[in-house]
Structure 1
Amino acid sequence: MGGEKAPVIVDGAATNLRERVGAYVALTKPRIIELLLITTIPSMIAAERQVPSLGLALATLVGGTLAAGSANALNMVVDADIDAKMRRTRTRPLARHMVPTRNALIFGIVLGIFASAFLWVTANLFAAVLAVVAILFYVFVYSMWLKRRTSQNIVWGGLAGCMPVLIGWSAITGSIGWPAWVFFGVIFFWTPPHTWALAMRYKDDYAAAGVPMLPVVAPQTEVVRQIVLYSWGMVACSLLLLPASSWIYAAVAVPAGVWFLALAHRLHSRVLTGADAKPMTLFHMSNVYLMLVSIAWAVDAAIGLQVFGWPQW
């Protein structure tokens, strides 16, 4: 405003309060957290079969945000060396030495402890335990073990990203119902097409960092074949919710699934014919698909029972 230029942050420790706060916020990867939280509220609504209390919903979102932020910050500590080698990630705080590694580690641990304690007090112990499991799995299983060792890293490491569904459901019921497990499966199958499409675009980055993402170690034809297979698994899993839903969910999930499969097959066809693959189209549309299906599940859960009636689970 008024011609004032924003401060330019160069490599090195953040020097003023605004830069320091921004650097610590960036450690939590806010954009990724937004995607995770898209699935938390629908799961809570489905468990409650109506809109849950505002207090519990906000508490679960806050606790889930802090837990995800903890996992992401600790992931950045583990990945600082490879983040510095990749164009897509070289602006992250630790890659640019804006935050001392020790401080980032303490920040991530404290955030995780506070998140679990907050969920225990405001929701229940089971939700808190699931949050701890998600953090530990993401850091130790995915970041420290799988990511640099196998092309299947994101397949199994992506399980941590499925946990918000279970946390949301357990915050309401103290347990996990089968619809939550089904949507857990939707996200499990969604994660590889979403991530591998991005990795196709940044294949050289991952190769330079020594991360064996599937597009780095396998031919493109095999990558898109796997994307198609997982896309079919995702859509099939989404349809398993139809017996516990009204036409509202079906009216969105079915056409959205057909649309996404068409995108996946088009990507496959482009690679086979040697055309420009344009994998980022699938990457961006995968976010739209997950949002649509999540909202449909939430809306159906909020009004489907009252209007149409549902079988009990």
Structure 2
Amino acid sequence: MHDRSLVERLRRQLSATLVGYVALTKPRVIELLLVTTIPAMLLADRGTVNPLLIFNTLVGGLLAAAGANTLNCVADADIDKKMKRTERRPLARDSVPRSHALIFGLALSVASFFWLWWTTNMLSAHLAGATIAFYVLVYTLLLKRRTSQNVVWGGAAGCMPVMIGWSAVTGTIQWPALVMFAIIFFWTPPHTWALAMRYKEDYRAAGVPMLPAVATERQVTKQILVYTWLTVLTTLALALATGWLYASVALVAGTWFLAMAHQLYAGVRRGEPVKPLRLFLQSNNYLAVVFCALAIDSALNLPTLFSV
């Protein structure tokens, strides 16, 4: 009985440790990033699907995102303890030693570079390395605690999977990849600020000048509206390289996304109670729908609407 209880205790400790390390990588964030990689690869080589290349690129992207997110958790361990939204993260609860998390994050980052170099090309590997460095050193350590525009510029790291996916196929960076980068760049502020409106007291307690924590709701929702318009217009610009299916979905989804942003702004202007978390959740659906339409359109190699 004693041996059995010891084995059970060890099993639980091992399970908790594994869960802790997985949590450091922020799997939900990784899922969203990888969703944008496949459509970018399919658009780069319309009508052709290379499963092995897609798999290798996704593995490299997963390692890079996991490494960057883990290093972000290491750098933000102090403020994560002060915020209700993040107080259950492994380093906030001290369930994983900070030094071990640092080594884990660095190991994942190095592995992503060499994996992409080996399985795709040097450009993709360097883009992954630059993304990790930018996210950790520029966004997390420099911008996040110093400016209310932190997510505007820091969000550039979340745009890189499309660049990595495109470069893995072509070995270059061309204008459709830059447009896809811009879509995610403009989408990030309304997505993040809508969530931050819900948790603005958390950011104030942690001393992080996220826009909703330092500006009025009217100012924040006006900015959300501006960036939502930029997002939708950029998705429509990508129709220059796609077929009718993507263009149709982008138009309908964009109209719906804009309606939600206008509704949020109008409610704040009228002084009514608003639910910004609804826009945050639906923004995920919007991006997924647009990029899924792009993937299908590209895989079917539907005739492009315009010749450029």
Please indicate the TM-score interval, normalised by the length of the shorter structure: over 0.9
Could you tell me which residue of structure 2 aligns to residue 50 of structure 1? 47
Could you tell me which residue of structure 2 aligns to residue 69 of structure 1? 66
Contact kept in structure 1, 2:148 and 2:210, CA below 8 Å: yes
TM-score by length of 1: 0.93
Distance of aligned partners of 1:171 and 1:296 in 2 relative to their CA distance in 1, 3 Å threshold: same
Which letter maps to 2:255? V
Could you tell me which residue of structure 1 aligns to residue 23 of structure 2? 26
Could you tell me which residue of structure 2 aligns to residue 229 of structure 1? 226
Number of aligned residue pairs: give it.
298
Contact kept in structure 1, 2:83 and 2:205, CA below 8 Å: yes
Give the root-mean-square deviation of aligned CA atoms.
1.3
- Select which of 276, 279, 287 maps to 2:276: 279
Could you tell me which residue of structure 1 aligns to residue 198 of structure 2? 201
Could you tell me which residue of structure 2 aligns to residue 162 of structure 1? 159
- Select which of 164, 175, 179 maps to 1:178: 175
- Select which of 247, 266, 271 maps to 1:250: 247
The percentage of aligned residue pairs carrying the same residue is: 57
Q: Which runs of 4+ in 1 moved over 2 A?
A: 308-313
More helix by share: 2
CA distance in 2, matches of 1:15, 1:103: 19
CA distance in 2, matches of 1:129, 1:312: 32
Which letter maps to 2:269? L
Q: Deviations over 1:60-98 (max 9, x none)?
A: 111100100000000000000000000000000000001
Q: Deviations over 1:259-313 (max 9, x none)?
A: 00000000001111111110011000000000011011111111134xx357676
Map residues 1-313 of structure 1 onto 2, 5 A cutoff. 16-305=13-302, 308=303
Question: Structure 1, unaligned stretches of length 5 or more?
Answer: 1-13
Could you tell me which residue of structure 2 aligns to residue 7 of structure 1? none
CA distance in 2, matches of 1:192, 1:185: 12
CA distance in 1, matches of 2:155, 2:305: 31
Contact kept in structure 1, 2:240 and 2:304, CA below 8 Å: no
Contact kept in structure 1, 2:241 and 2:304, CA below 8 Å: no
TM-score by length of 2: 0.94
Which letter maps to 1:187? I
Contact kept in structure 2, 1:196 and 1:223, CA below 8 Å: yes
Q: Deviations over 1:169-199 (max 9, x none)?
A: 0010111121111011000000000000000
CA distance in 2, matches of 1:39, 1:309: 20
Which letter maps to 1:195? T
CA distance in 2, matches of 1:31, 1:241: 26
Superposition deviation, residue 15 in structure 1:
7.1
CA distance in 2, matches of 1:85, 1:52: 46
Could you tell me which residue of structure 1 aligns to residue 8 of structure 2? none
CA distance in 2, matches of 1:48, 1:192: 30
CA distance in 2, matches of 1:277, 1:51: 45
Contact kept in structure 2, 1:151 and 1:213, CA below 8 Å: yes
CA distance in 2, matches of 1:33, 1:43: 16
Superposition deviation, residue 124 in structure 1:
0.7
CA distance in 2, matches of 1:132, 1:312: 34
Contact kept in structure 2, 1:304 and 1:310, CA below 8 Å: no
Contact kept in structure 1, 2:47 and 2:301, CA below 8 Å: no
Q: Deviations over 1:183-231 (max 9, x none)?
A: 1100000000000000000010011000000001111100000000000
